[in-house]
Chain A
Amino acid sequence: MSLAHPLAASAGASRRAVLLAHAAAAHRSRAVDAARIATPHIRYEAILPEIVMLGGAVLLLAVGALVERQLRARVATFGTLAVSAGALGVSLWQWADVTSHGGFTAVDRAVVVDGFSALVNILVSCAMFLTALVADGYLRRERVEGAELHVLAMVSASGAMIMGSANDLIVIFLGLEILSIALYVLAAFNHRRAASGEAALKYFILGSFSSAVFVYGIALVYGATGTSNLAQIAGFLSTRVLTSDGLLLAGMTLLMVGFAFKVAAVPFHMWTPDVYQGAPSPVTGFMAAVAKAGAFAAFLRVFVSSFETLRADWQPIVYGIAVVTLLLGAGLAVVQRDVKRMLAYSSINHAGFVLLGLQAATAGGVSASLYYLFAYTFMVIGSFAVVTVLGRRGDAAHDIASYRGLARRQPLLALMFAVLLLAQAGAPFTTGLWAKLQVVLASVDHSVPLAVIAMISAAIAAFFYLRVAVLMYTPLPAAGAAPGVETPAEEPVPLGRGVAARALAPTEVAVPAAGAPRARPLWTGDERNAVALDRLNAGLLLDDDPMTLALVGAGDGAAPEDAVGEGALGDGAQAVSPPAGGAGRERVLVGESGPAASLAFDTLAGGREETLDVVNVLATGPARVPPLSAVAIGLCVAVTVVLGFWPGPLTAFAHHATLLFQR
């Protein structure tokens, strides 16, 4: 190729001359290639994980069409599980091979097999496996037959794998397109929902635009360096000084824009909330994990290895992108009411953290980014698995209000989700904090302010994760609480004092005279409960309804939970049991609720709307958790917590993968 072409380094050599020389060289080499069309030798074991994934997809498509209708869903799921397990096995084998024999390039140096690519392959296979588990329950619930979702996801996953092991800009583009086109279709998968179609269209238009930008970037880089091979670009740049590098810098910037779009970094994030919200929930989880993993893998490889010598040029840009991504992602997540949108913004915030590792541009930084991607994949797929389950039939119950009281209805699910959210917030003893720790340690290397900004964005982010977590542990009623009417959570309230009594006062419900020295039970009358229940069931509960206020005053979830037929009697009894220390004889006990969620939340939520949401949730009862989804959630939580307590293996893995980076 043109690498041998002597480059005029004298001050007089104009950019034009350089370009012309390159064009001539490229022309010459094309002519030579045309003379003898030599197909490159292909080492199939180098691209075996991709082959397994893609071949599996094609096979499954064929098989899916042949088997009976009733069996299709099952065949698709277990076929996908088998294929992803196979791909995982092959990737692990690659990892073992790389650790013992070192990395190598194959297929005319277009593909590289090293620790980095093996890690990405392992990561993507795991993500595919978990997504198949989650998608199964979703497809059954939504009564969608056929293997399409699984097949498209596998195609997309193979695209991400290709991006991870690409050693040529063209191959990266190939992977990017395979990844994206399948995702466009997946986003529109639920064709009955208008939001889904809108999301897909938005994603498609912006995505194709970014692809075009990316290709243009490749063209410019090729024009400047005469090659699209990553290693050759690095070699070219390390041995030559470009007197005029405008073309190269423009190309590099366009590549960065393309990548930033795919990883959803600000200001190229506009599509993310809409697409994450509109796409079917399992697909959103897959998209958040796999698209990010693939794009970041290529992003890291291109910039840290090929453009290493231009570090001074791109580092400030990545720095700026990282700052706005961190802050905007966290800041905008705070004001979201839809959990999927919130998680979309939180994924933007996470992308900012991964960018910290990239902008450090050191081995430690790359290793930290890989660790982050790994930890993030399990946290985000787990979170979206819970969201999928709680989305209920129609995949629409994603309002934050419908999470209230989840701990009462489904304690285990709430606990799992709480752990995943806290891990994303960076709670100690989870992979979440180890990941943040490592990227921040990498960025401390040359920019302490960036590290501080990152941690402050983590503080903002922690706020909204905790908000959802606390909401789940806040019992149900009190939803219609008029702002300002709040009662102590645990303390007995005597009549004549306290808001409960005040709320009741204007009604005709007979209450003992205010100011009585000794308190009496406020809420013993079952008939009052019954009236409130009837209204609640009928959806007639309004903010200003005295009964609502009474219910709020009465606090405990006994009444509404009777509505769903859960064993609320015990709780009710608990609420009126004598207080500790034998203090109370007759006393009004406000149960454990009251509007315990944050004031900020209550103002955000707006009373009435939330009341109706709550009624809806109550009417349908606990969400059904399909066994396979439960397995997926359990796996994600297990990985997050176990590797949080025992951080050695994964850090060593990421570290090792970086050491085996084939330059």
Chain B
Amino acid sequence: MTAAGATHAFPFLTVLVLLPAGGALAVALLGSVRGLSRAAIEWLGIAVSLGTLAIAIAIAALFATTTGGFQFVSDHSWATGLGVHWNLGVDGISLFLVLLAAVLFPIVLAGARTRSDAVSFVAWMLLLESACLGSFVSIDLILFFFFFELTLIPSYFIISGWGYTRRAYAAVKFFVYTFVGSAFLLVGILVVAFVHEHQTGVLTFSLPALEHTHFSSAGGILLFLAFTAAFAVKAPLFPFHTWSPDAYAEAPTGGSMVLSAVLAKLGTYGIFQFDLRLFPQASVDLAPLLLTLAVIGILYGAIVACAQRDLKRIVAYSSLAQMGFVALGIFAFTTQGLTGGVLLMLNHGLITAALFLLIGWIYERRQTSQVSELRGLQAPAPLLAGAFTVAMLASIGLPGLNGFVSEFLVLSGTFLTHRWWAVVATAGVVLAAVYLLWAYQQVFHGKVDLANSSTRDLSWAERVVIAPLIVVIVFLGIYPKPVLDRITPTVNSLVAQVDAATHTHQPAVARRGVAGTGAALAKKAST
């Protein structure tokens, strides 16, 4: 697969990645200047992240919908003797994750501010944004690994510095799980490059080049497992998820948003971009295993979420279920399933960020996120309740909101190839309605008591912050075409690549594409 699309003179991706890092450095340096108010620092952080968003939007606007390959490629030799390149590129899968990250970080910086040590918080957040964006656009495996690892440091500091009561425990657990996972990833990357070097004599870590490496079936499976270990921990997929409820619940609001909405996507993104492209045969061979884990994750997450009494933990477990859906879509190996998986990553990011933000605001007002202590918030805070309703219903998968589109695509895509898995997973959708509606009812309905009666409604600033999320959630529920148009070519080429490598074929009905929207393109791709 080669880079296609128009080449741009302006190094969009390099600037995209380096701008937040530069901002982080500036914030850290300016932070030591006396007399500079914390508001100024926070505004600087928001401005930098908005600048990044502007670049991301420019990339999305200039993104060509006619090709499935990497666009905006900038390839520079970096560590000469080692064959490592500063190789950045974006395709239909990573584009929306880049946009997601670029949209969410300004919201985090504006809406989930901390009371203490704003300088460090803003600096860490911007560095984290840089690392996330870098991971999504790296197409050199070592560079990807660098950014992938880099996300760990700021998130560890954010959890342990600004988290809740058990933050230390949560941060350590998060760190240990993820680091051990990525230990396997690094070794896996090196082995892939080593095998490729043996076959071709060229030491390279470039993804398009390594796609053509041949592995023995056992070797391919071991490497697939090594890569997937890191990604499954990050996503998280059952049974590697045990760090995530703790980390999501103990992290500060902004940390939970970023962890669940952006960092978690690194895991599933890695499966899309690296597992499927590098080890198509192993991916197909092990698909039943991963589909089963995904379904277990969906049901387990939903059932455990029903038993939670803390809003943050409910959303944490529902995230586990949602990431299970993404994995289900991936390993169904149909156009619908994969497209739905990509779309669900985007949608889940938006929804879960909105939910964590709203829960954070509830905590700010009431000092608790325990369902039992909240009651009747609808009366004193109607706008808060309204925003929560939209996000919650989107998470349940109500038609007309974005969650429905992606969940439907995933389930229908899975149904074509793996019928019974899809049937069982559908139960997860029902359970999601159970725990979210129950929680909603407890928190917002009912007769308001004395403690809850004075809860303040959303301020103007808060309305401005949450509005974009709500608008996008509704918009993508009604009109997902612009997104699907950009995802489909890449997914089509990915499916074609997997099919070609494994001599399997997805059902003909699936090839017709995503509910008609991508049909024309799919036909073009298949001819």
Say which one of B49-57, B363-371, B430-438 lies at the interface with A.
B363-371
Q: A591 vs B115: C-alpha distance in the bound complex, in angstroms?
A: 8
Cβ contacts under 8 Å, A584 to chain B: 364
Q: A422 vs B153: C-alpha distance in the bound complex, in angstroms?
A: 9
Residue pair A597, B168 in contact (C-beta under 8 Å): yes
Q: A410 vs B391: C-alpha distance in the bound complex, in angstroms?
A: 44
Whether B172 sits at the interface, judged by CB under 8 Å, is: yes
Q: A427 vs B456: C-alpha distance in the bound complex, in angstroms?
A: 44
Residue pair B183, A452 in contact (C-beta under 8 Å): yes
Interface string of B296-308 (1 = CB under 8 A from A): 0000000000000
Interface residues of B in 158-191 (CB under 8 A from A): 160-169, 171-172, 175-176, 179-180, 183-184, 186-187, 190-191
Residue pair B175, A473 in contact (C-beta under 8 Å): no
Which one of A466, A575, A599 lies within 8 Å of B169 (CB-CB)?
A: A599
Select from chain B the residue with minimum beta-carbon distance to A588: B367
Interface residues of B in 167-218 (CB under 8 A from A): 167-169, 171-172, 175-176, 179-180, 183-184, 186-187, 190-191, 193-194
Cβ contacts under 8 Å, B150 to chain A: 427-429
Whether A140 sits at the interface, judged by CB under 8 Å, is: no
Whether B79 sits at the interface, judged by CB under 8 Å, is: yes
- Total contacting residues, chain A, CB less than 8 A: 67
Cβ contacts under 8 Å, A602 to chain B: 168
Interface string of A172-198 (1 = CB under 8 A from B): 000000000000000000000000000
Whether A589 sits at the interface, judged by CB under 8 Å, is: yes
Known: A583-B365, A598-B160. A655 touches B81 (CB 8 A): yes
Cβ contacts under 8 Å, A463 to chain B: 172, 175-176, 179
Say which one of A118-126, A493-501, A522-530 lies at the interface with B.
A493-501
Residue pair B172, A647 in contact (C-beta under 8 Å): no
Interface string of A465-502 (1 = CB under 8 A from B): 01000100110000000000011111111100110000
Cβ contacts under 8 Å, A210 to chain B: none
Residue pair B82, A489 in contact (C-beta under 8 Å): no
Cβ contacts under 8 Å, A581 to chain B: 113, 361, 364, 459, 461-462
Interface string of B55-87 (1 = CB under 8 A from A): 000000000000000000000011111101000
Residue pair B171, A598 in contact (C-beta under 8 Å): yes
Cβ contacts under 8 Å, A489 to chain B: 116, 161-164, 167, 252
Residue pair B184, A583 in contact (C-beta under 8 Å): no
Cβ contacts under 8 Å, B163 to chain A: 488-489
Taking the nearest CB of chain A, how far is it from the CB of B388, in angstroms? 17
Taking the nearest CB of chain B, how far is it from the CB of A283, in angstroms? 31
Interface residues of A in 581-598 (CB under 8 A from B): 581-584, 589, 591-592, 595-598
Taking the nearest CB of chain B, how far is it from the CB of A530, in angstroms? 23
Q: A460 vs B171: C-alpha distance in the bound complex, in angstroms?
A: 14
Known: A441-B190, A598-B169, A647-B82. A459 touches B183 (CB 8 A): yes
Taking the nearest CB of chain B, how far is it from the CB of A141, in angstroms? 26
Which one of B186, B361, B451 lies within 8 Å of A437 (CB-CB)?
A: B186
Select from chain A the residue with minimum beta-carbon distance to B151: A428
Known: A441-B194, A486-B166, A489-B163. A580 touches B113 (CB 8 A): yes
Residue pair B367, A470 in contact (C-beta under 8 Å): no
Q: A491 vs B114: C-alpha distance in the bound complex, in angstroms?
A: 8
Interface residues of B in 104-140 (CB under 8 A from A): 113-117, 120
Q: A652 vs B172: C-alpha distance in the bound complex, in angstroms?
A: 37
Q: A3 vs B365: C-alpha distance in the bound complex, in angstroms?
A: 88
Q: A433 vs B38: C-alpha distance in the bound complex, in angstroms?
A: 34
Known: A470-B156, A473-B157. A438 touches B82 (CB 8 A): yes
Q: A596 vs B462: C-alpha distance in the bound complex, in angstroms?
A: 29
Which one of B82, B162, B368, B462 lies within 8 Å of A651 (CB-CB)?
A: B82
Cβ contacts under 8 Å, B331 to chain A: none
Which one of B149, B168, B459 lies within 8 Å of A582 (CB-CB)?
A: B459
Residue pair A498, B183 in contact (C-beta under 8 Å): no
Whether A257 sits at the interface, judged by CB under 8 Å, is: no
Whether B32 sits at the interface, judged by CB under 8 Å, is: yes
Whether B454 sits at the interface, judged by CB under 8 Å, is: yes
Taking the nearest CB of chain A, how far is it from the CB of B215, in angstroms? 13
Whether B90 sits at the interface, judged by CB under 8 Å, is: no
Residue pair A458, B169 in contact (C-beta under 8 Å): no
Q: A422 vs B150: C-alpha distance in the bound complex, in angstroms?
A: 11
Q: A434 vs B172: C-alpha distance in the bound complex, in angstroms?
A: 24
23 chain-A/chain-B pairs, Cβ below 8 angstroms: A434-B82, A437-B142, A437-B186, A440-B187, A444-B187, A462-B179, A463-B176, A470-B171, A474-B160, A489-B252, A494-B367, A579-B115, A580-B115, A581-B113, A582-B459, A584-B364, A592-B115, A592-B161, A596-B161, A597-B168, A647-B82, A648-B79, A655-B81
- Please give the residue numbers on chain A whose beta carbons come within 8 Å of chain B beta carbons, in ascending order: 411, 422, 426-429, 433-434, 437-438, 440-441, 444-445, 448, 451-452, 455-456, 458-459, 462-463, 466, 470, 473-474, 486-494, 497-498, 517-519, 556, 574-575, 577, 579-584, 589, 591-592, 595-602, 647-648, 651-652, 655
Given A474-B160, A647-B84, 8 other A-B contacts at CB below 8 A?
Answer: A428-B150, A455-B183, A455-B187, A466-B153, A488-B163, A581-B113, A582-B461, A598-B169
